[in-house]
Amino acid sequence: MPAGLTRFEFRASCDEDGEVPPRIVIVDDDPSFLATVRLLLEAEGFVVVGEALSGLDGIALATELDPDLVLVDVNLPDIDGFEVVERLAQESAPPVVLTSIRSADDFGNLVQRSRARGFIAKADITGEALTGFLEGRATPA
């Protein structure tokens, strides 16, 4: 497995209600951000099955693990988040939600024109918002 790619053991097959918790892959080049988001999402009932520090690693991981959702930072060291979205869309891979320190306004209509499921500013990331995307909404709940 290439460096910068982390795959986690599938620790829970189902939660207490008998529902299968959503599996997610996070792609961001900032390890401290990855750690914080993982803690946050796991506290809210998500299972983070993989983390990648670059766009290409993220694509490989998402294809391999087939999670329910991929959360991708727009600014990545190799290819940017929009490119990740396009490449994953061609492989009928899981839906992608883009995220950034900037707000959606900073990207004009790039998000709307992309094949991403939606966009969420990093400061707004919550399990609830991501669940909204999983249910097909294009904007955070």
Q: Which residues bind another protein (CB under 8 A)?
A: 30, 32-33, 36-37, 39-40, 43-44, 101-102, 121-123, 125-126
> Cβ closer to another protein: 40 or 65?
40
> Cβ closer to another protein: 63 or 75?
75
Helix (H) or strand (E) holding 119: strand 118-121
Query: Could you tell me the smallest distance in angstroms from the CB atom of residue 63 to another protein?
Result: 27
Query: Could you tell me the smallest distance in angstroms from the CB atom of residue 46 to another protein?
Result: 13
> Cβ closer to another protein: 89 or 110?
110
What 129-136 contacts at long range (C-beta under 8 Å, 24+ apart), as own/partner pairs, is 130/22, 130/24, 130/41, 130/46, 130/69, 130/71, 130/97, 131/22, 133/69, 133/95, 133/97, 134/22, 134/68, 134/69, 134/95
Query: Could you tell me the smallest distance in angstroms from the CB atom of residue 132 to another protein?
Result: 16
Residue 97 CA from chain centroid, whole number: 6
Query: Could you tell me the smallest distance in angstroms from the CB atom of residue 84 to another protein?
Result: 20
Q: Provide the residue type at 61 as one letter.
A: L
